[in-house]
Structure 1
Amino acid sequence: MHDVTSPRSGAAEEPASPRQHLARTAVIVVVLGVLPFALDAAAAWQVLGTLVAATFVARALQVIWRAAFSTDPRHLTS
């Protein structure tokens, strides 16, 4: 039996603002994309860090694009 008064466990949280997303991406890029090279880490960490950082940058570009050009009410900030 489902209790309708309690919040759903699978309920989606409020999406992060573009500013929060960019700040999080910047931290990840520095930690995974720059530090392995600065600390002369193993080649595997350098490659893996670069790939993960590039993936986060690509997603950040999508978020920036959506924030700048979307007319969908879900993407408009108040």
Structure 2
Amino acid sequence: TTAALVRPLLGISPSAWEEAGQVMGEMQASIVVAAILQRGVAIKNPGGYLRNLTRRAAAGEFSIWPMLLALSATRLKKAT
């Protein structure tokens, strides 16, 4: 997947990616990586951020929707 190609560029370890895929599913993990990429320098430690979201997902405390809505809102603000 594209996320698997981008992952090393962001400094996300293979183990963090694998765990995210197992917990969230590959599609959701890929969306999270895309969101991390989109936020750029705002996320100082992408691997740690992904691990944190993976832990939250495993505990049932993470939903991708707020992340997507925040990205969408940011994009709309930049467009105006």
Relative to the length of structure 2, the TM-score reads 0.29
Structure (1/2) with the larger helix percentage:
2
Relative to the length of structure 1, the TM-score reads 0.30
- Larger radius of gyration, structure 1 or 2? 1
